[in-house]
Amino acid sequence: MTGTSAAPRVRIAPSPTGPLHIGTARTALFNYLFARHTGGTFILRLEDTDQVRSSIAYEKDILDGLHWLGLGWDEGPEVAGEAARGPHAPYRQMERLPSYAAAAERLIAADQAYPCFCTPEQLEADRKAQEAARQPPRYVGRCATLTPEERAAREAGGRRGALRFRVGEGIVAFDDIIRGHVEIDVSNLGGDFVIARADGTPLYHFSVVVDDAAMEISHVIRGEDHLSNTPKHILLFRALGYPEPRFAHLPLILNADRSKMSKRKSQTAVLDYIAQGFIREALVNYLALLGWATGTEEEMLSLDEIVERFDLEAVHKGGAVFDRERLEWLNGQWIRRLDADELIDRLRPFVEAELRAGRIDWMPSDDELRSLLPVIQERLPTLGAIGDLVGFLWVDQVAVDAAGLVPKRWDAATTRDGLTAARATIETVGEVTFEADELEPPLRALAEARGWKAGDLFMAIRVAVTGRTATPPLFDTLVALGRERTLQRLDRALEVLASA
């Protein structure tokens, strides 16, 4: 156990082998929450020792995503011209190789680790045999008892061994902050495990321990998938003479079928959520409530409010299914809370995306967006829904077909009459000012005079000018469209009806 009085030091240690995953974001969030709540330090470390799968592009995606979420770190790697921050730089494991080599030397000197010359083929054969015998996979220990002469002989042949850690015997116990007392017999660990590749690069179980010790991590808060591996880490902390941090294993985020959330079955990339128009307030709020609750009935909480209330010991043990519908609801709630300027700023990129995708023909001005806010703000489940909601305002022409133009209770002839009359009314009324309040009464009067249900007439107009049956309120929509374009679209619809 570490000292209890010092401020906590926690870390998020993603490996840049893929885009920022929802699960990583949640783990980062909980570490951040714990650090901020306790006045501790939040550290970011990149675990890039898997050279084959790691890439700088993923690293950027992860860092950008965490920034986007508002989860700033106190200590972390240099990035984009910025110097590394914190007393334990560097924060990329591939830049810390000497420290692992030194730790490895100490273990070898103490005979707690030894080189293993087994080939991948041999290991694979062992595994197959164990599987056939219905035995759990485990390293058979072929190289555990090599004499110095035997080692020398193998090394003379130019072969370099991977480094294995001697697991020994006994039971490792620890008190997980979330799960309570956990005990595991090391005989179930699968035998002596590899801590460094033949090329000298460290493996996760090793580098994570060396770095957590070096960076004085006091609380290791991570996913439950690491629970079974924790004894390996504890063994290494002890062998290296380092104090053991406290552990807290978070429940997993699950697919709908309750398996660990995966790319195959769920949308896992944070960047994809961002691209669809989920906002950080909602994502953070939602993620915080996956596996943790305030104990009250409040559920819309800002990051700061969550920090205030967060309690690691109140985190659940059971996994939680990721429910996108609930996220969308929360997102809509948060969008409605955004003030005008903020919403416009956040909406702009999504309108630009519509333009790039060719779904609209020009870019509306900020003022135009602002004037639309009263009717769209409560209708956006995501920012990305903007195009679908009002994209028809920014296209040269909407697609309408004769059948679609005719309201359910009407026929083509009535629709023709209705639109013709409505056009005339709108043209007349709109001569002076073109406002929703001015347009509605005369059109209602028109419907009344002709014995039409106002809703039917409105629906015919709606489809004629927007090409859709579901839109924001009609008169606001006409105003947004403007008199000229409203009339043009009515004319166009009438032409379509005539030629049908």
Site for RNA in 407-446 (CB under 7 A): 440
- Is there binding between residue 469 and RNA (CB under 7 A)? yes
Single out the residue of 13, 43, 279, 465 in contact with RNA (rule: CB under 7 A). Answer: 13
Q: Closer to RNA at the Cβ: 15 or 31?
A: 15
Task: Match 């004629």 to its residue by tokens.
Answer: 464
Choose between 132 and 432: whose C-beta lies nearer to RNA. 132
DSSP letter (8 states) at residue 16: S
Beta pairing partners, 44: 12
| CA 226 and chain centroid, separation | 20
Q: Tell me the two tokens of residue 212.
A: 């957590």
Contact between 482 and RNA (CB under 7 A)? no
Task: Identify the helix (H) or strand (E) that includes residue 9.
Answer: strand 9-12
Q: Give the residue, chosen from 30, 34, 42, 193, that forms a contact with RNA under the rule CB under 7 A.
A: 193
Q: How far is the CB of 128 from RNA (least distance, A)?
A: 12
CA dihedral sign, ordered 287, 290, 294, 298: positive
- By CB under 7 A, tell whether 128 contacts RNA: no
Specify the stretch interacting with RNA by CB under 7 A; choose among 33-41, 227-235, 396-404, 492-500. 227-235
- For residue 35, what is the DSSP state? H
Name the nearest CA neighbour of 35 among 211, 213, 217.
217
Question: Which of 32, 34, 58, 117 contacts RNA by CB under 7 A?
Answer: 117
Q: Is 318 in the site for RNA (CB under 7 A)?
A: yes
Is 282 a residue that touches RNA (CB under 7 A)? Answer: no
Of residues 111 and 183, the one with the C-beta less far from RNA: 183
Output the CA angle 36-41-47, nearest 5 degrees: 115
Of the residues 459, 465, 493, 497, which one makes contact with RNA according to CB under 7 A: 459
Cα radius of gyration (the chain):
32
Element of type H or E holding 162: strand 162-165
Single residue of 75, 211, 224, 281 touching RNA by CB under 7 A: 224
Smaller CB separation from RNA, 225 or 341: 225
Q: At closest approach, how far in Å is the CB of 328 from RNA? A: 7
Of the residues 69, 167, 235, 252, which one makes contact with RNA according to CB under 7 A: 252
Pairing of strands 320-321, 253-254: parallel
Residue 3, judged by CB atoms within 10 A of its CB (0-12, 13-18, 19+), counts as exposed
Q: Is 37 in the site for RNA (CB under 7 A)?
A: no
Residue 491 Cβ vs RNA, minimum distance, rounded to whole Å: 20
41 lines the binding site for RNA (CB under 7 A): no
Q: Which residues contact 265 (CB under 8 A, 6 or more apart)?
A: 255, 256, 257, 259
- Residue 263 annotated as catalytic: yes
Catalytic residue of the set 128, 263, 317, 453: 263
Among 128, 135, 352, 399, binds RNA (CB under 7 A): 135
Tell me which residue of 390, 455, 374 sits closest to 440, measured CA to CA.
455
Distance of CA 89 to the CA centre of its chain: 27
CB of 455 to RNA, least distance (A): 4
State residue 496 phi and psi, 5-degree precision.
-60, -40
Site string (356-385) toward RNA, x via CB under 7 A: ----------------------xx------
Q: Does 116 bind RNA (CB under 7 A)?
A: yes
As given in the structure block, the two tokens for residue 33 are 């929450």
Q: Of 333, 414, 420, 425, which one interacts with RNA (CB under 7 A)?
A: 333
Within residues 296-315, the interface with RNA by CB under 7 A covers 297, 299, 314
Work out how close the CB of 499 gets to RNA at its nearest, in angstroms, rounded to a whole number: 26
Q: Where does this chain touch RNA (CB under 7 A) — which range of 4-12, 80-88, 220-228, 419-427?
A: 220-228
| 277 DSSP 8-state letter | T
Nearer to RNA, 127 or 355 (CB): 127
Asked whether 378 and 336 are in contact (CB, 8 A), the reply is yes
Site string for RNA, 55-94 (x = CB under 7 A): ----------------------------------------
Is 329 exposed, middle or buried, given 0-12, 13-18 or 19+ CB atoms closer than 10 A?
middle
Nearest approach, Cβ of residue 286 and RNA (Å): 8
Q: Tell how far CA 294 is from the center of its chain.
A: 22
Residue 4 or 119: the one with the smaller Cβ distance to RNA is: 119
Q: What is the distance, to the nearest Å, from the Cα of residue 300 to the centroid of all Cα atoms in its chain?
A: 19
CA–CA dist 451, 446 (Å, integer): 8
Angle between helices 230-239 and 204-214 (to 10 degrees): 60
Tokens of 388: 């679908």
Q: Does position 154 bind RNA by CB under 7 A?
A: no
Rounded Cα–Cα distance for residues 242 and 253 (Å): 31
Binder among 12, 172, 235, 254 for RNA (CB under 7 A): 254
Site for RNA contains 151 (CB under 7 A): no
176 versus 363: smaller Cβ distance to RNA: 176
Name 52's Cβ contacts closer than 8 Å, sequence gap at least 6.
none
> Nearest approach, Cβ of 61 to RNA (angstroms)?
15
| Least Cβ distance, residue 341 to RNA (angstroms) | 21
Enumerate the active-site residues.
263
